[in-house]
Amino acid sequence: MIEIKNVSYCYHKEEADGRINENKVLNNVSLTVHEGEFVAILGHNGSGKSTLAKHMNGILVPETGDCLIDGLSTRDEKKLLEIRSNVGMVFQNPDNQMVAAVVEDDVAFAPENLGVPSEEIRRRVDECLKIVGMWDYRRAQPSRLSGGQKQRVAIASVLAMEPKYIILDEPTAMLDPKGREEVISTIHRLNRERNMTVVLITHYMEEAASAERVAVMDDGEIILDGTAREVFHEIEILKNIGLDVPQATELAFMLREDGFNIPHVITVDECVQAIAEALEVKS
C-alpha cells in the first residue's frame, strides 16, 4: 500500500531582498491507498494535490511526516530506485515524457535504463502497446500522434517498468473530449483487468465520479475522503471550496429543489433513469 503519514511540505522561494518566502502546500496530510484501489484526488489549483502526487514516488520528500511505499520510506535514498520502479508517474503534458523518435523506442527507454534483458524489453514493449491500444502505431513518430494517443504511449512507457502503482497527475488536462475518453478508458481497464492500483489527480468531476474512492483537498489538507457517491453528496462543501459536482448530480439537485422526487445520482445513466421514473410517477 501507499501510506502518507502526517506529511507537511513547503516550497521555499528566495525574494529579491534575500528573504526566504515559505509557501506551505501540504499540512499534516494522511492518506492510505490500498493495493488494487482506484482513488481520485480532487482540488482546485493550489490545493496541494499535485504536490501530494509527487511525494508518492519520491520526486518530493516530506519536510515532516513520512511517505511509505510497501513499507519503504521515500526518505531513504537507497530505496528510491526500487520505489520508483514500483510507482509509475504520468504527467499532464505527454510531450514532456517523450524521449525517442519512434513510439516503440520510447516505450523501451525506461526498461533499457533499468538493465532489463533485450528479449524481455521486446516482450514488454509489445504487450504494453497492445494494452493501451497503440500497437498499430508502434513505428510511428510521437510528434504525429494526437494528444490522447501520446498520453496512451506515455502510460505504456510507465507500464513497461511493470509498476504496482500508477500515479496520473491531471493526464487529461490538455486533451479534447475524445482524448480524455481514450485515456480514462485505458486507466479503468488497467485497474479492472490487471488489478493495478491507480491514483488519479484530476479536476474533471465526471472522471472522479468513475473512481471507487475520492479524496478532496483544500488548502493543503484532505477535507473529504470516501466513495464517489458519498463525496459528491456533499454538494455545499464542494461548492464552498470552489469545486463543482458532476453535471448529472447538479441536475438532480436542481430538480429536487424544484419539487421533483429525484434521488442523489452521480452518473448520466442514473440521472436518466431517475428522471424517467419521476416523470412516470407524476403522470
DSSP 8-state symbol, 92: S
Q: Residue 165: pLDDT above 80?
A: yes
Residue corresponding to grid cell 484532505: 222
**Mean pLDDT confidence for 44-48:** 89
DSSP 8-state symbol, 75: T
Rounded-to-integer distance, Cα 151 and Cα 163, Å: 17
Which pLDDT does position 16 carry in this prediction? 67
Pull the grid cell for residue 32. 492510505
Q: How far is CA 262 from CA 145, 232, 270, in A?
A: 43, 15, 10
Residue-wise pLDDT for 65-84, tens only, equals 999 999 999 999 999 988 98
Residue ranges of the domains in the chain?
A: 2-245, 246-283
178 burial via Cβ count (<10 Å: 0-12, 13-18, 19+): exposed
**Is residue 255 within 8 Å of residue 275, measured between CB atoms?**
yes
Query: For residue 212, how many other CB atoms are within 10 A of its CB?
Result: 14
| pTM for the model | 0.87
Tell me the pLDDT band of 143, cut-offs 50, 70 and 90. confident
Q: Residue 278: pLDDT above 80?
A: yes
Q: Residue 283: pLDDT above 60?
A: no
**Is residue 189 within 8 Å of residue 196, measured between CB atoms?**
no
Q: Residue 56: pLDDT above 70?
A: yes
Residue-wise pLDDT for 78-103, tens only, equals 999 889 889 999 888 888 888 888 99
Q: Which residues contact 17 (CB under 8 A, 6 or more apart)?
A: none
Euclidean distance between the first and the last CA atom of the chain, given in angstroms as a whole number: 52
Pull the grid cell for residue 35. 493495493
Rounded-to-integer distance, Cα 8 and Cα 16, Å: 26
* CATH number given to 2-245: 3.40.50.300
